[in-house]
């Protein structure tokens, strides 16, 4: 009787999955090792590459020149920055700088200069850190100033 | 009369169906999030500054990516060489030659509305960035974009 039960037919339902699992595992390990992930990158846009000292950003003939709004940016060490615009100075606060620039924009708008005609010129020092320039550029964007360019180092 | 009995199933190996399900999900995930065939020349070692005000560029076909690093007094600029598919250095000055200016002028000649993407380390001093911007200005590049990492709008 024992021998009879051992001789029972073995029923294996479905296809053999072992080769599939092998291949799929190889693909998975390959993807995990070689894949570089999409990093969320966003871009801050300048309408011109650079504004040279004493020049306007738009040099096309018969086009009125933009109203320049210069922001002087300096780094104080690796973490602190100071921005000067319109005779005011702001330290390490993007929000305060954005508020100042918003007021300046409103004043220019009130005097007949449209926002599209305001050319923000960021004037960094030679040792101004790039991240501090990004902070100031963001403050300008928060103030709805869209035409932004860098100038040569002061 | 003795009826036929359905034989008992003796499956000795484990059920691999849930494993295949999970693995397939992982493969689909990796295929969706991994970058495939996109070679922009971006140097992933560069520590980009964080911003929240930037925009996304949908058409990366009209762009040239310039990686800017500091080295002594002059910046080192690398970009994708479309011939080799490798990221290679483009010198600002090479004796009397100006290879970067030549490249940008050539690209602008091909497509007037091409964009330059500048990738620079967040702690880079402006003196290293300035020569690259001057070169873009001389090549009459209209659209300069600074790559940043997307972050939150927390106060500075």
For B10-55, the pLDDT digits (tens) are 666 777 788 888 888 888 888 787 766 566 778 888 899 999 888 8
* Per-residue model confidence (pLDDT) at position A58: 52
* Chain A residues inside the 8 Å CB shell of B147: 41, 43
Each residue's pLDDT, cut to its tens digit, for chain B (156 residues) gives 556 666 665 666 777 788 888 888 888 888 787 766 566 778 888 899 999 888 887 777 788 899 999 988 889 999 988 778 788 899 988 888 899 999 999 888 888 888 899 999 999 999 999 999 999 999 988 889 999 998 876 644
Residue entry with tokens 């499956």: B11
The H or E element spanning position A105 is helix A94-110
Do the Cβ atoms of B123 and A78 come within 8 Å? yes
User: Residue B63: beta bridge partners?
Assistant: B115
Q: Are strands B50-51 and B63-71 parallel, antiparallel or unpaired?
A: unpaired
- Determine the Cα–Cα distance for residues A147 and B143; give it in Å rounded to an integer: 11
Each residue's pLDDT, cut to its tens digit, for chain A (154 residues) gives 555 555 556 566 667 777 888 888 888 888 878 766 666 788 888 877 788 765 555 555 455 568 889 999 999 988 999 999 989 999 999 999 999 999 999 999 999 888 988 999 999 999 999 999 999 999 999 999 988 989 988 8
B96 vs chain A: nearest CA distance in angstroms? 23
Long-range CB pairs of A58-67 (<8 Å, 24+ gap) are A58/A119, A64/A117, A66/A117, A66/A118, A66/A119, A66/A147, A67/A108, A67/A113, A67/A117, A67/A118, A67/A119
Closest-approach residue (CA) in chain A for B118 = A43
Do the Cβ atoms of A130 and B126 come within 8 Å? yes
Assign 3-class secondary structure to chain B: CCCCCCCCCCCCCCCCHHHHHHHHHHHHHHHHHECCCCCCCCCCCCCCCEECCCECCCCHHHEEEEEEEEECCEEEEEEEECCCCEEEECCCCECCECHHHHHHHHHHHHCCCCEEEEEECCCCEHHHHHHHHHHHHHCCCCEEEEEEEECCCCCC
pTM: 0.74
Closest-approach residue (CA) in chain A for B65 = A43
Neighbours of A117 (CB within 10 A): 15
């Amino acid at each position: 009787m024992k021998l009879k039960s051992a001789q029972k037919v073995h029923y294996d339902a479905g296809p053999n999955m072992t080769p599939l699992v092998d291949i799929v595992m190889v693909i998975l390990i390959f993807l995990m090792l070689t894949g570089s992930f999409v990093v969320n990158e966003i871009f801050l846009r300048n309408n011109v590459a650079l504004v040279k000292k004493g020049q306007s950003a738009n040099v096309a003939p018969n086009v009125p020149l933009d109203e320049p709004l210069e922001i002087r940016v300096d780094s104080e060490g690796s973490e602190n920055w100071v921005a000067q615009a319109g005779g005011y100075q702001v330290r390490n606060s993007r929000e305060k700088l954005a508020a100042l620039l918003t007021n300046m924009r409103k004043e220019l708008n009130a005097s007949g200069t449209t926002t599209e005609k305001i050319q923000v010129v960021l004037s960094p020092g030679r040792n101004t850190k790039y991240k501090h320039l990004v902070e100031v550029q963001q403050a300008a964007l928060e103030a709805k100033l869209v035409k932004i360019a860098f100038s040569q180092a002061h | 009369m003795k009826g036929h009995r359905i034989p008992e199933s003796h499956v000795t190996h484990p059920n691999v169906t849930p494993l295949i399900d999970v693995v397939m999900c992982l493969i689909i995930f990796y295929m969706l999030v991994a970058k495939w065939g996109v070679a922009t020349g971006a140097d992933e070692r560069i520590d980009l500054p964080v911003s929240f005000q930037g925009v996304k560029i949908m058409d990366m076909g009209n762009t040239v990516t310039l990686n800017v690093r500091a080295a002594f007094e002059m910046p080192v600029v690398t970009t994708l060489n479309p011939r080799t598919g490798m990221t290679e250095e483009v010198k600002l000055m090479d004796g009397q030659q100006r290879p970067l200016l030549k490249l940008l002028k050539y690209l602008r000649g091909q497509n007037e509305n091409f964009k330059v993407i500048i990738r620079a380390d967040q702690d880079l001093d402006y003196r290293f960035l300035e020569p690259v911007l001057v070169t873009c200005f001389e090549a009459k590049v209209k659209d300069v974009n600074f790559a940043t990492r997307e972050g939150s709008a927390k106060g500075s």
